[in-house]
Structures are given as structure tokens and as C-alpha cells.
């Protein structure tokens, strides 16, 4: 694979500072046991309140830091929101956008997610844009239509700059596989990833499309990571539950 893999931990709304510190210390210890060498990029996305403290612990290590969401707006009267610049200010280089929980619980649609993506680029962050179908959509044969709609929305807001386009990360996360223990089969994941790659080729050209990383998310565990990551268009994972236990997260990293 010409793209470097990425394993990203989405800690969601879990962890006071002490617990977040303990979690990242466990990951750091595991990486040290591996001689500090891993075959993929590693990212952790703690809750906002723990980012700074986790950032101090990972300073000088290979682990990168990200946020789980951000506002589309510039600073101003937006109570309860946070800008991308606030994330970079505390050491983040990535931000997860359009996670299915944001879409289903907080009404984020693909246009808003796309505007947030533009704001993330503006603020110097690498966006990880999540897409995925519900169980009902899959069972009624609409998976690829849903994915087409969600992915199409990003193109009008992508920066013109080639390097920035190549930086983009997409995450295919079938909603029915998130936190359920049901994983898409490697073949199901590859089918959707190849479809997304095809859209990227059409819209951005093969040069850019072949650099964009497409992660799979949905009940990835140490025992299924390797086979999923072995698929040609799967460039790593966005990990929820298993990112909260150092041994599981490290086991997934070992999938590369
Ligand atoms: C997620 O929430 O992004 C996720 C993939 O969760 P889990 O790994 O727990 O299914």
C-alpha cells in the first residue's frame, strides 16, 4: 500500500483527565515496548477537557492528537462551541467531523459537515470526515446511494491546493457496526472503500485519490483488524470502544 496506515482512537465522551492520562500512558508504554516503531500513524482524540493534558504526555512521541468535533464558525458569539484554531492551539492536528453520533443526535447534515471540513482546513487541521449507512439503508439496498450523497457533499468545499486535498481522511463507518460488536466483513468494507476511491478519482483525479486515506470504523478489535486492514482500499481504522483499553488499541495497531 502506498498510503501510510492510520489508526485513530475516538474516545468519545469518556474520561476525566486522570483516566485519559492513564489511558494514553498505557498506549505510550505499549509503543515503547515495541521500540517506539509502528507501521502506521497513531492518533488519539480525547474529550476536549483532556486534550491538553494528554498532549503533554505524548509530547515527543509518535502519537498525534485530535478533536472529535469543531464549529464551522470563526470566533464570536457561539456559546458552547469551539473553533479549529482552539484545537490547534492545544496541539491538535486532526479533527473528526460528521461522526454518525453527531449526525443522528445533533442533526448534523452533510452540508454542515462539509462546511466544517472547510473550516478545519482553514484552521490548519486535517479533517477526518465520517460517512456511513444505517442498517435500514443497507437492508434496502441503498448503501452506495447514501455514501454517494455524503461523499459528494465534500467536493464543493475542498481547498484547491493539491497537498491539502491529499491530506484529507475519510472514514467509512456503517452505523449498524458502531459499538454493536457487528463488523462489516472485510469484503463489505472493501466494496464501499473502493466505491469512495472511485468517486475521489472521478472528482479529484487519480493522483490525489490514491493519496487520500480511507479508514474503516465499526467494532474493530485486535482479532479482526489485520484482515480488514489487509484490503487494498482500507487504510486503517477509526476505533471507538477498543480505543479505551491500551491493550486492545495496541493490538489493533499491531494489525499493520
Ligand atoms: C466509532 O464510534 O467511531 C466506532 C467505530 O466505534 P466502535 O469501534 O466502538 O464501533
Atom of ligand 1 nearest to the CA of 242: 8
Q: How far is the CA of 76 from the centre of ligand 1 (A)?
A: 32
The fold adopted by the segment(s) 5-68+80-253 is: TIM Barrel (3.20.20)
pLDDT > 70 in the chain, percent: 100
pLDDT at 37: 82
Residue nearest to atom 8 of ligand 1 (CA): 240
Is the CB of residue 183 less than 8 Å from the CB of residue 224? yes
CB of 179 sitting under 6 A from ligand 1: yes
The pTM assigned to this predicted structure is 0.98
**Rounded distance, CA 254 to CA 7, Å?**
10
| Average pLDDT value for residue range 211-240 | 98
pLDDT at 23: 98
CB of 173 sitting under 6 A from ligand 1: yes
Q: How far is the CA of 139 from the centre of ligand 1 (A)?
A: 20
pLDDT at 36 > cutoff 80: no
pLDDT at 1 > cutoff 70: no
Instruction: Confirm whether 78 is a catalytic residue.
Output: no
pLDDT at 85: 98
Average pLDDT, the chain: 97
pLDDT at 71 > cutoff 70: yes
pLDDT tens readout for residues 125-145: 999 999 999 999 999 999 999
Q: What is the DSSP string of 79-133?
A: TT---HHHHHHTT--EEEES-HHHHHHS---HHHHHHHHHHHHHTT-EEEEEE--
Q: Which of 101, 137, 173, 193 is catalytic?
A: 173
**pLDDT band per the 50, 70, 90 thresholds, residue 186:** very high
Residue length of the chain: 256
**pLDDT band per the 50, 70, 90 thresholds, residue 86:** very high
Assigned C-alpha cell, 32: 515503547
CB of 239 sitting under 6 A from ligand 1: yes
pLDDT at 58 > cutoff 70: yes
Residue nearest to atom 4 of ligand 1 (CA): 240
CB of 66 sitting under 6 A from ligand 1: no
CB of 150 sitting under 6 A from ligand 1: no
| Average pLDDT value for residue range 104-117 | 98
pLDDT at 42: 98
Is the CB of residue 196 less than 8 Å from the CB of residue 170? yes
3-state class percentages of the chain: helix first, strand second, coil last, to nearest 5? 50, 15, 35
- Lowest-pLDDT range of 51-60, 91-100, 117-126, 175-184: 175-184
Ligand 1, residues 238, 243, 249: which to mutate, most atoms within 8 A of Cβ?
Answer: 238
Instruction: Confirm whether 108 is a catalytic residue.
Output: no
Q: How far is the CA of 123 from the centre of ligand 1 (A)?
A: 26
CB of 219 sitting under 6 A from ligand 1: yes
| Average pLDDT value for residue range 156-181 | 97
**pLDDT band per the 50, 70, 90 thresholds, residue 172:** very high
Assigned C-alpha cell, 2: 502506498
pLDDT at 7 > cutoff 70: yes
Assigned C-alpha cell, 48: 476536549
CB of 192 sitting under 6 A from ligand 1: no
Amino acid at each position: 500500500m502506498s498510503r501510510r496506515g492510520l489508526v485513530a482512537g475516538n474516545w468519545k465522551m469518556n474520561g476525566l483527565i486522570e483516566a485519559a492520562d492513564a489511558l494514553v500512558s498505557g498506549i505510550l508504554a505499549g509503543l515503547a515496548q515495541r521500540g517506539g516503531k509502528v507501521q502506521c500513524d497513531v492518533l488519539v482524540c480525547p474529550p476536549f477537557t483532556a486534550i491538553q493534558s494528554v498532549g503533554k504526555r505524548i509530547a515527543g512521541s509518535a502519537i498525534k492528537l485530535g478533536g472529535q468535533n469543531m464549529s464551522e464558525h470563526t470566533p464570536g458569539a457561539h456559546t458552547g462551541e469551539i473553533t479549529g484554531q482552539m484545537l490547534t492551539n492545544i496541539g491538535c492536528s486532526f479533527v473528526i467531523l460528521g461522526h454518525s453520533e453527531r449526525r443522528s443526535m445533533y442533526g448534523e447534515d452533510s452540508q454542515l459537515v462539509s462546511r466544517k471540513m472547510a473550516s478545519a482546513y482553514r484552521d490548519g487541521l486535517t479533517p477526518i470526515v465520517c460517512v456511513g449507512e444505517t442498517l435500514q439503508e443497507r437492508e434496502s439496498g441503498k448503501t452506495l446511494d447514501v455514501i454517494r450523497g455524503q461523499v459528494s457533499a465534500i467536493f464543493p468545499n475542498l481547498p484547491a491546493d493539491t497537498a491539502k486535498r491529499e491530506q484529507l481522511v475519510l472514514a467509512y463507518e456503517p452505523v449498524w457496526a458502531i459499538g454493536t460488536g457487528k463488523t462489516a466483513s472485510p469484503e463489505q468494507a472493501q466494496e464501499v472503500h473502493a466505491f469512495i476511491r472511485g468517486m475521489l478519482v472521478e472528482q479529484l483525479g487519480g493522483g490525489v485519490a490514491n493519496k487520500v486515506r480511507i479508514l474503516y470504523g465499526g467494532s474493530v478489535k485486535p482479532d479482526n483488524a489485520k484482515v480488514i486492514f489487509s484490503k487494498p482500499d482500507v487504510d486503517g481504522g477509526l476505533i471507538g470502544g477498543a480505543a479505551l483499553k491500551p491493550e486492545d488499541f495496541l493490538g489493533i495497531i499491531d494489525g499493520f
